[in-house]
Amino acid sequence: MDSLQLATDNLEPNLKGKFIHLDVILPLLESLKSVFEITEIGKSVLNRPIHQVKIGTGKTKILMWSQMHGNEPTTTKGLFDFFNFLSNDSEVAQQIKNKYTLLCIPMLNPDGAFAYTRENANSVDLNRDAYLSSQPEMKLLRTLHKDFKPDLCYNLHDQRTIFGTEGFNLPATISFLAPAYNESRDYNEVRLKAIVIINKMNKALQEYIPNQVGRFDDSYNVNCTGDFFTTQNTPTILFEAGHFQGDYAREESRKFIFIALLSSLLGNYENVIVDNELDDYLRIPQNNKRFFDFIYKNVKIIDNSVEKIINFAAQYQEVLIDGKIHFIAIISKISDLEDYSGHVEYDCEALLFNSDRKCFPELGKKATFELNNLTKFNNGLKII
């Protein structure tokens, strides 16, 4: 079975780019009501509806939620692609629906999605509200967890382009975590159940993105949703959709989320050798913060009348303007870049930097400049 082809074939065409909000998914939910059980289960701070999609009749119950952070839509796209796959009558889709009951919240934070912010309308990070449960969206998730009593939880997120896989000069396109349940970050039976599934997903993804699957940091914080649910004895898996080469709209990354979801539900988890599973999990390279979107090398500057050769980096900021996400390249670091890589790198060949008549880059400024007044860069990219 070619999982990447399946992901491509089931791509939801009405979900594109990075601005995915409630008005975009409501028509899709309406169209899925003929095949799945779809229910409005609560409201956001600003009274926007929150829906659940219930799929399958199997014994094993999985609770999954996406867009807990409103500006992290890639897993929402991958989730709807997976809905498309499960809505057909293929043998594999039917097997999944017979084995599992999936309870999916495709958009937990609709207010944040509209504003394209990480937080909800009360400026609270829902993924730091699990223990206190102060926000209506988190109260809803906690209630679902209590009532549904899932065997597994999938916590679906995006991660920034800064992350790579340790030991490889490659982006962390997908990362996973079996969250800790205590400060010592010990491994118990609950955490090991999540690890077994992560290993299955990693094995499947290595066929398509070798060495681009990372292991997220497992620092313990009971306020984090995954950590909290793990302390409640529910195996929980953090999914992080990251950067794939050149894919800033994350139309490729969504396919790898689809592959992860599919592979997690195939086969069985019995008769596993725990020591081997833990070893395999710990061999997944950790995420490291080694990337900038742009690095400019061998740039000549004039500092206090002295010529110098430096390197500097720029990072995109994502800004919502008139209903569209704009990528604004901002100068983020100057020199000391030996341990960093760029998704795009330029050798500037000791040409003189010039921006607004200044012969040196400034932190926080847009990466629009010239070299020797001839070679031009606009918003990070070389244009001449």
Same domain assignment for residues 219 and 316: no
* DSSP codes joined into one string, 304-328: TTEEEEEEEEEEEEEEEETTEEEEE
Q: Are strands 60-65 and 100-105 parallel, antiparallel or unpaired?
A: parallel
Per-residue pLDDT at 1: 77
Same domain assignment for residues 27 and 94: yes
304 pLDDT tier (thresholds 50, 70, 90): confident
Summarize pLDDT for 207-264 with one digit per residue, the tens. 999 999 999 999 999 999 999 999 999 999 999 999 999 999 999 999 999 999 999 9
Per-residue pLDDT at 268: 64
> Which CATH number belongs to the domain containing residue 335 in this structure?
2.30.40.10
Same domain assignment for residues 319 and 271: no
Same domain assignment for residues 90 and 152: yes
Q: Which residues pair with 64 in a beta bridge?
A: 104, 154
In the β-sheet with 381-382, what is the strand arrangement from edge to edge? 324-334, 306-321, 291-303, 341-354, 369-371, 375-378, 381-382
47 pLDDT tier (thresholds 50, 70, 90): very high
Q: Range of 315's domain?
A: 291-382
Cβ atoms of 33 and 40 closer than 8 Å: no
Q: Which residues pair with 238 in a beta bridge?
A: 155, 177
Of the residues 289, 323, 348, the one at which a domain ends: 289
Of the residues 244, 260, 289, the one at which a domain ends: 289
Domain count, the chain: 2
Same domain assignment for residues 195 and 311: no
> pLDDT averaged over the chain?
96
Same domain assignment for residues 217 and 359: no
Of the residues 256, 289, 322, the one at which a domain ends: 289
Question: Token pair of 212, please?
Answer: 């681009």
Q: What are phi and psi of 308, to 5 degrees?
A: -140, 155
Same domain assignment for residues 217 and 319: no
Q: In this model, does residue 273 exceed pLDDT 70?
A: no
Cβ atoms of 182 and 228 closer than 8 Å: no
Q: Report CA 141 to chain centroid distance, whole Å.
A: 19
Same domain assignment for residues 75 and 219: yes
Same domain assignment for residues 279 and 216: yes
Same domain assignment for residues 212 and 355: no
> Which CATH number belongs to the domain containing residue 117 in this structure?
3.40.630.10
Task: Give the pLDDT mean for 192-217.
Answer: 98
CA distance between the termini of the chain: 45
Q: Report CA 259 to chain centroid distance, whole Å.
A: 14
Q: In this model, does residue 269 exceed pLDDT 70?
A: no
Same domain assignment for residues 123 and 100: yes
Per-residue pLDDT at 336: 85
Cβ atoms of 79 and 106 closer than 8 Å: yes
Summarize pLDDT for 119-170 with one digit per residue, the tens. 999 999 999 999 999 999 999 999 999 999 999 999 999 999 999 999 999 9
* DSSP codes joined into one string, 312-374: EEEEEEEEEETTEEEEEEEEEEES--TT-EEEEEEEEEEEEEEBTTBSS--TTSBS-EEETTT
Per-residue pLDDT at 271: 53
Percentage of the chain exceeding pLDDT 70? 98
Same domain assignment for residues 215 and 333: no
